[in-house]
């Protein structure tokens, strides 16, 4: 728990720095979103920049852990763009959350990724390709979604 807390605290700082929104953690998964208030704009670039910073932080942390013969952690990061429904529901333990097909596709993109890499959808690639070099992975099967164009953002 302490190690996961250390990691997620670093992610919290990175997300805040890029003016993104932490949605929740689910076990060892960390969910964040951008563009919830204004519908996007530069938020996709901010998401990729934050993802790169998270991976860089993990690489540095893992080097320290490796030097002490401790296990290392790798993160798969998936980014997708589209409409969501957002809000708070219920009357106990209020928690802001997001729902919708976009969230489901983002989860599929994350699970189709690889440790230490940032996997993005074709929709995201169309917006950020002029800012970040990417490697096309092809059409990757995604559970209940068919095949989705995916790219790795190059380091």
**Residue whose entry in the numeric block shows the structure tokens 């989705």:** 148
How far are the Cα atoms of 64, 66, 107, 114 from residue 70, in angstroms, in the given order?
9, 5, 29, 21
CA distance 21 to 47: 10
User: What amino acid positions are annotated as catalytic residues?
Assistant: 108, 143
Buried b (16+ CB within 10 A) or exposed e, 82-96: eebebeeeeeeeeee
């Amino acid at each position: 728990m302490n190690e996961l807390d250390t990691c997620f605290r670093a992610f919290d700082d990175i997300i805040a720095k890029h003016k993104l929104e932490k949605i929740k953690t689910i076990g060892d998964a960390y969910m964040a979103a951008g563009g919830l208030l204004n519908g996007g704009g530069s938020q996709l670039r901010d998401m990729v920049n934050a993802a790169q910073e998270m991976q860089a932080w993990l690489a540095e942390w893992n080097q320290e852990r490796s030097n002490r013969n401790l296990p290392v952690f790798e993160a798969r990061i998936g980014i997708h763009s589209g409409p969501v429904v957002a809000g708070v529901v219920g009357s106990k333990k209020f928690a802001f959350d997001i729902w919708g097909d976009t969230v489901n596709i983002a989860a599929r993109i994350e699970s189709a990724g690889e440790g230490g890499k940032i996997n993005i959808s074709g929709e995201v690639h169309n917006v950020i390709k002029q800012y970040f070099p990417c490697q096309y992975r092809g059409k990757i099967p995604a559970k209940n979604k068919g095949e989705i164009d995916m790219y790795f953002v190059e380091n």
